Structure 1
Amino acid sequence: MLSGTTVTGDEPLESRELPSFAEQFVSSPRGAQLARRLAVQCMEGWGHPPASDASCAVALVVGELAANAVQHGRVPGRDFGLRLALDVAAGLVRIEVADAASVKRPPTTAPSSRPEGESGRGLFLVDALAVRWGSVPRRLVGKTVWAEVAIATPAVK
């Protein structure tokens, strides 16, 4: 596909020529925090300052998906991966977080959160901020949870 096409849930990002960022992180809370920070830096490089709505939405989605990968998808000795791709033509940032746990798949819809609970709001927030989201199994081991966040389209630097 060409760089101006929309990325869909069942198409790997590797097959597209979009401005992108990819990195592996230690599967720990510190790794999730670093993934979020680097996503904000990446968004700034794409013309979306850290305080912009687009950067804040991407940071929150990356933070939630990375935290889920660490908490629910952690396999000892395995990292998690983050990939971001900017689709200027579609006005989307595609976020993919890959972990090594094949068995634990996220629900197909955001679970309802209990107001008094201390957790359980992550996918609810992802669902609220993303145009769409889902998960796909990885080729050898694990899964990739992805989300697409709509953004205004400034000129790419």
Structure 2
Amino acid sequence: MIVWEQVHTERLSSGGDLAVRGVRAYVRRTLVAALEDRAHDFDLDDIDLMVCEITTNAVRHSASGDAGRGVWVTILVAKERIRVEIQDDGGSNGCPVIPPQGSGWGESGRGLMVVNGLADCWGTLPGARGRFTVWFEVTG
């Protein structure tokens, strides 16, 4: 059983388009403060990349990309584990999935492949009103 020492949840949105870099910056600031002297135990650059990929998917494929909309970000910190959850604003046509093998390396479709390669584990959770949460965990 994982005992989460800290839990940080924030709704991130803007008057215009949701800025992916703003979500990434929030997660980085929160983790640096939460980890204090343990930040070197985790690859924060990998976490930045995964946050960007998931948030970009939310902006592209859900109502999170509409003006004034956003995402819920939850960061859970345990002694040797971090979990980041990003919930979109709903409105997508389906569950976030990795594209089938052989679908090529087109302009899109690689985000969850990146998450799959960098995270120790990850997944999706359906929510109310068509919302989805994509989460990942890393160990330090």
TM-score, scaled relative to structure 1 = 0.71
Deviation at 1:17, TM superposition (A): 5.1
Partner of 2:60: 71
The answer for the alignment partner of 1:105 in structure 2 is 95
Aligned-residue identity in percent: 28
Residue 93 in structure 1 maps to residue 82 in structure 2: yes
Measured in 2, the distance between the counterparts of 1:39 and 1:20 equals 12
Gaps of 5+ in 1: 7-15, 152-157
Partner-residue secondary structure (3-state), 2:63: coil
What is the identity, as a one-letter code, of the residue corresponding to 2:120? V
After TM superposition, which residue ranges in structure 1, 4 or more long, deviate above 6 angstroms? none
Note the residue ranges of structure 2 that are not aligned, 5 or more in a row. none
2:95, 2:132 within 8 Å by CA — same for their partners in 1?
Answer: yes
Higher helix share: 2
Aligned-pair CA distance for 1:29: 4.7
What's the TM-score once normalised by structure 2's chain length? 0.78
When the two structures are aligned, how many residues end up with a matched partner?
130
Question: Which of residues 5, 18, 21 is equivalent to 1:33?
Answer: 21
Alignment of 1:7-156 (within 5 A): 18-26=5-13, 28-30=17-19, 32-45=20-33, 46-47=35-36, 48=39, 54-74=43-63, 76=66, 77-88=68-79, 91-101=80-90, 103-107=93-97, 110-111=98-99, 112=101, 114-115=104-105, 117-151=106-140
